[in-house]
Structures are given as C-alpha cells and as structure tokens.
Amino acid sequence: MDETAVPSVEEAFRRLTIGDAGLIAAMARPERLGVAAHRLGLRTETLLQIGVLVALDAPPSSYRAAVDAAQLAGAQLEDLLAVLIAVAAPVGSARVISAAPRIALAAGYDVEAALERMEPAGRGMDQTAVLVTDAVADTPAPRGQR
C-alpha cells in the first residue's frame, strides 16, 4: 500500500492539520490517496478553482488555464457567471469586478470590446455597479470577518 494512501477522511484531516508533507504532495494526484480521495467531479472542481482565482485577484493568464479546464469539463459561460455570483459576498465587489472581464475573455467573450461598441447611455454601468454593491453590502460578512 502506498504510504500516502489515507484510510479515512478523519485521518486525512489529522494529517493535513499537522502539515504532513507526503499527503500534501499526494494531493496533486488524488488517485493515490485511497478512500479519502472523494472527488467533487471535474466540472465542479474546475469551477471552484476559478472561484479561488477570483478571491486571489489572479492575473489573466491564470484565468485562461482555469477557464479552459472548466470548459473542457463542460462548463458554459452561464456557469462562469454563477461562480462570480457565488463568490461575490465573501470576496467583495472589487474582486468580482476585476475578475469578470478576465473570465469572460478567457471564455471567448471580449466584454471590453462589446462595451466599446455600445452607446454610452446603453451601458447601464452606473445602475449595475449600484446593484452589485447593494447586493454585496446587504450580505452578512462570513464568520470571523465581522
């Protein structure tokens, strides 16, 4: 049996808590982890990774790779928007606003070019910003951030 194999979820949490280097390295290849390697599904995992990139305010190159992986796993542009909606409250509107054009461009939709083609009055930018800001402001802060 592989020394990185984990017989239970509880064992995995114990080993992660103490910083078990072997387990952490094996997480890059979850099939080696044994019973505790329950996976969420490739599509869900790739969408979660995009959510993490939003939280980190990642560069455009990171989004390209993550969005490519998500699309290969079956994610659509609507799913990518759903990620932004899901993380808006915990990460804040600034991160969502920063990530939106990066994610859209990585998915093949150039938001900035589309906005340039629109009439200034047709953009609705002020109203959209107010709605996003209000929605995030009305959401309670996650525990530990109050």
Closest by CA to 103, choosing from 45, 58, 63, is: 63
Q: What is the pLDDT of residue 1?
A: 45
Q: What percent of the chain has pLDDT over 90?
A: 57
Contact 36, 8 (CB under 8 A): yes
Q: What is the rounded distance in angstroms from the CA atom of residue 144 to the CA atom of residue 5?
A: 33
Instruction: State pLDDT tens for residues 17-33.
Output: 999 998 888 887 776 77
When pLDDT is cut at 50, 70 and 90, the band that residue 54 belongs to is: very high
pLDDT tens sequence across 110-121: 999 999 998 665
Contact call for residues 122 and 76 (beta carbons, < 8 A): no
Q: Is 50 exceeded by the pLDDT of residue 133?
A: no
Q: Residue 103 pLDDT more than 50? A: yes
- Would you tell me the crossing angle of helices 42-56 and 77-91 to the nearest 10 degrees? 50
Q: What is the pLDDT of residue 22?
A: 87
Per-residue pLDDT band for 59 (boundaries 50, 70, 90) equals: very high
53, 79, 82, 131 from 48: Cα distances, Å: 9, 11, 11, 24
What pLDDT band is residue 100 in, cutting at 50, 70 and 90?
A: very high
Sequence ranges of the domains in the chain: 1-38, 42-137
